[in-house]
Amino acid sequence: MPGTEATRCERRCVLPFEALPSELWPLRRAVVAQLGQWGVPVACEEAELVVTELATNVIKHVGEGASATLVLELKDRRLRVEMHDRSRSLPALRSADCDAECGRGLHMLAAMALDWGAIGTAVGKAVWCEISPGSQMMCRRVERAVVALENYQTGSGMALDAPPREAAFEESVIELIADLLHWTSMCGRDPDDVLDQAQRHFEAEREAA
């Protein structure tokens, strides 16, 4: 499963995985969880598309069950996604209207990425893609949310010696929002009004990103 043998340091994550269709979903979830830990989940949808395409290419063109490694790096306001495998055959763009499926995914990557490419490595190749991690304002909001949730989990006695599983993290979000609504009600405010205002702020900022 992706992440079980991952090595992490501040802004870099290495996720070895087996190139199988059944591993695509766990790999995407591992990416979403890591971006959440870094405070940049605003890039999740694009990152999931990129990871899915790169991993699918390994399955199709290297072979099911092949060993591969996904590397995430966040630096200089760019999220770099690298897919390493043991094939030395570098991918190439084909005409967009070709009958073959091979190459169409690369057109998608080229269209949505800030930059992309492929390089040979000592044991095979790496296909990389760089995307924007989102607006600076949204990143600050998400970073504050991550800090709040980590403090909330600490207060509730939940262990923080490993990145929280998605289900546990979502449960903490729900509990924290419920606590805030209780506090809002105690202060004489209408929780529904507060939720409506928060939703409007969220949608406006997402539109501006």
* 119-159 pLDDT tens trace: 999 999 999 989 887 655 555 566 667 677 767 766 655 54
Q: Which tokens in the block code for residue 186?
A: 């105690």
pLDDT at 206: 67
194 with 181: CB under 8 angstroms? Answer: yes
**What distance lies between CA 82 and its chain's CA centroid?**
13
* Low-confidence residues of the chain: pLDDT under 50: 4-9, 95-103, 159-165
Position 43 scores a pLDDT of: 73
SS3 call for 206: helix
Amino acid residing at 64 = E
CA–CA dist 4, 11 (Å, integer):
18
C-beta separation of 71 from 79 below 8 A:
no
Domains of the chain (ranges plus CATH)? 7-131 (3.30.565.10), 136-208 (no CATH)
**In contact, 94 and 108? CB cutoff 8 Å:** no
